[in-house]
Amino acid sequence: MEKRLQLFPHSTEIRRFDGVDRLAIGGCDLTQLAEEYGTPLYIYDQSALDAAVDEYRAALAAHYPGPAGITYAGKALINLAAARWAAGRGLWVDCTGAGELYIATRAGVPREQILVHGVNKSPADLWAAVETAGTIVVDNLTELERLAALADSVADFPQLWLRVRPGLAVDTHAFRQTGQDDSKFGMGFAEAVQAVTLCRTQGLPLTGVHFHQGSHFHDPQPIGPALDRVLELLAELRDASSWTPAYLSPGGGWGVPYHEDDLPHPSIDDYVAFLSARLAAGCAANDLPLPILHVEPGRSIVAVAGVALYRVGAVKRTSNRRWLLLDGGMADNIRPSLYGARYSALPVANPLRPALDPAWLGGPYCESGDVLIENLLMADVQPGELLAVPVSGAYHLMMSSNYNGALRPAVVWLQDGQAQLIQRRETVEDLVDRDEGMKG
């Protein structure tokens, strides 16, 4: 069970409250937070977010010989507090579409720190991007032509980067691969050559090239050949049109350990060291200037900082299983049902008591697939107890739903020993808020 504890934010400890050993994060008692804000509850520890950013910065400074920056991939978690935190830490914020752009601008993220992604940006997305972003990553030629048509409509037109598709896959779930040849994302190299020509003839501010191989990989090696191919493309572009990008972004995707079986896990430093060395060597081999390296992590910044709290409703025994039925599941965390993501959990009270039997942690929703965790060794947990699921910070709330009338959870932010509510729990009124009713 001690190993399981390592999955939690580093500020997690076991403290004695009211004569019981209980989990605390950032000095805050999880039991008290659950009582105050209800469950399911999502808790974010800012010190863990800060530590991840510090680790990226230190690794870039130690390993990359050129200038570097970090874009925080907002798709992993974006709300006013997270966007404000990211901007305050000097990160750029990647927004997908007009909705995330709205959140970032409402949070006060400065234009020059906003970068926009999207595989099929709508006219509204493009317009919002042109008006509010510092950088737009262009997915395809049609989009580029639409952007060219908007070029004269704003004084401060964003810089453009091209998203290219290296045509190679990384080792992750098929749903999370994006850089392979048949992927819907980005441009093939022939299109990228056309895009550069179009930008140059139209006088568009093209400054970067981006690729993203996929999400949640644990070995940086497969990024190497993709990076090599992109550098070959850059050499080709330089020879054909004397253009080289100021920025190169290899996207995000660095994985995290979700389960104690994933420990030990290679570090952010391992990933950045590999990337930096390969990029520097590739630039030298192709006689290219060192670009500004912009990494784009989401999960590896925000996943560990987030912990989900659930209350056990009923405990059920079937012929072969012990079911712990929770008050949350696929509506707040679709990842196990979507791609078999494997999680772990600890009881909040007496977390290190021995776990002898496997348990299946099921949610309350009307789907047999609504199982948050399968076959996990768990203590003798009773109805009414609280369970904490670590590594819940990325892609849970962003993919959450109102299935079965589920109310999206409250979100609490921990900073300097204080907890503050940054998003209230949805109410049943929210469920009908958009409804227009029926006439007559």
Using CB under 6 A, list all residues that contact ligand PLP: 73, 75-76, 117, 212, 215-216, 251-254, 296-300, 394
What minimum distance in Å lies between the beta carbon of 331 and ligand PLP?
21
Pick the closer one to ligand PLP by CB: 212 or 278: 212
What minimum distance in Å lies between the beta carbon of 156 and ligand PLP?
24
Pick the closer one to ligand PLP by CB: 118 or 351: 118
What minimum distance in Å lies between the beta carbon of 298 and ligand PLP?
3
Q: Is 366 an annotated catalytic residue?
A: yes
What minimum distance in Å lies between the beta carbon of 356 and ligand PLP?
35
The residue at minimum Cβ distance from ligand PLP is 298
Pick the closer one to ligand PLP by CB: 113 or 300: 300
Pick the closer one to ligand PLP by CB: 117 or 165: 117
Pairing mode of beta strands 135-138, 114-117? parallel
Distances (CA, A) of 13 to 191, 198, 269, 301, 415: 53, 57, 25, 21, 15
Pick the closer one to ligand PLP by CB: 31 or 177: 177
What minimum distance in Å lies between the beta carbon of 134 and ligand PLP?
16
Q: Indicate which residue of 28, 95, 283, 366 is catalytic.
A: 366
What minimum distance in Å lies between the beta carbon of 1 and ligand PLP?
28
Pick the closer one to ligand PLP by CB: 137 or 234: 137
Which residues have a catalytic role annotated? 366
